[in-house]
Structures are given as C-alpha cells and as structure tokens.
Structure 1
Amino acid sequence: MKANWKLFVGLSVFYVIMAVVYYVVGGEAVGITGMILAACLAGMVGFYIWFTQKRIGFDIPSDDLNAEIADDAGELGFYSPHSWWPLPVALSATAMGLGLIIGWWLTLIALGALVISIIGMVTEYEKPVHISSH
C-alpha cells in the first residue's frame, strides 16, 4: 500500500505537467480542462489511499515481500448485508438528471430527495448515544 498512493500522486503530477505542455503547444480548452480534472481525480484517490494507510498503520502484510497469504487473513471491514437506501439514491439522482431536461423545479425537488437519501444511506448503521441521568 505504500506504493499505491505514490503511484496516484505521481499520476496527478504527470497530468498537471502534460496539461501545461498541452497548453504551451496550443491545445484547446476542453483538453486542458480534461487533463486538470484527471489530475484532480488521481490526486483525490492518492490522498484517500495515503489517509487510509496513515490511519491503519504501515505494518500491513501486503507491503511485506516475504509475507504469506495467510498473514493477510482476518476481518476486512463492515459490509452491509442488505440495504434499501441505494434505491432512493438512484431514483432521486435519476430524477435530478431528468430535472435538468424537464425543468428547474424538478431538479430542486430531486436535489432535496437526493440529499435526504444520501444522509439515510450514510447514517443507516449509526446508533445514537443515550446519556443516562443516573
């Protein structure tokens, strides 16, 4: 995992350099914008991997060249066994896309539904903390 974030950050730097070269050569604005957006995307992925690596630590078996496959066994995280929340997220995102075609009023309604459904999906397994007054 040590090399993963370096790969994506290096790719981000490469895209920025290529965007500058493309600009100097006389490329159009769409190509330059696309390369800058690709650089931002690669930078975000690199930052996420770096942040996750920093949080879980450096000593993971996949970084050890002498590690066995069994060394990486164990719990990988929590995955939802079933959830209905992706359905309203997808429906409200679709309605928002259609709202761009039909009218601004549908876009605003769908945006509200999308925000509510994303909050519902993200907080589905959150448990409230009850403070007792004993």
Structure 2
Amino acid sequence: MRPEKYVFLFIAVFFAIVTPIYWFMSGEIAGTFVLGFSGLLGLMIGGYLALTARNFDPRPEDRGDAEVVEGAGALGFFAPKSIWPFWAAVTVAIIFLGPALSQPWISLVGFGIGIWSASGWILEFYRGDYKH
C-alpha cells in the first residue's frame, strides 16, 4: 500500500499549499473551505493507509522480487450466455417510458416486468441447463 499512501499524502500536501494561496488571491470563504477539507481528506486517507500498511504483508506489486504470477487471482465465473440482461434493459425502457408519455400505468407494468426479469437474472443458475 506504499504507492497509494504516497499518492494521498501528495494530495494533502498539494492542497495545504494551494489553500492559503487561493485564500489570499480570491478571499472567498466557500472555495477555501472546500480546498482545505480536500486536503484533510487526502491526509486522512493517506494516514489510514500508512497505519494499516504496517499490519499487512507486502503485496506482490509492492515487492521488488515478486513474480507476475503471484498477482494473478481468481477470475470468477461468467455466464456463457444469458437473455436476462436484455429483459432488464426492456424493463428499464418501459419504466422510463411511463413518465415520458405521462402515463404512470406504463411504469407500473414496467415494475411488474422488472420483478420477473430481476428474479430470472438472479435465479438463472438455479434451474435449466446451467444449474449448479
């Protein structure tokens, strides 16, 4: 987590330098507070990363002697084919068609189709050819 720590600490230092310059050049309160709190946010995240980096073993990308294969993780499972994203897109189109045509009942039909399409997409691998 060393590179991330340095990125956020750089952000904190940058905003610590820019905030007073902005205040003297513009005299604006709101922008000064936004820049100051952006610096505090960078300091908070950088400090958190600096403290937690001590408790973890270095990641492969943080070690100089690491091999590329050490950083490879599991890719996961991806559906070979599915019709459910199409039905989800149709559902969203029908839901937004209701306000576009000033007909709220069309959106209600869309929500009904949405329950069907969402449950089909969620339960896709509990039935049929790709049942686990």
Structure index of larger Rg = 2
TM-score, normalised to structure 2's length? Answer: 0.49
TM-score, normalised to structure 1's length? Answer: 0.48
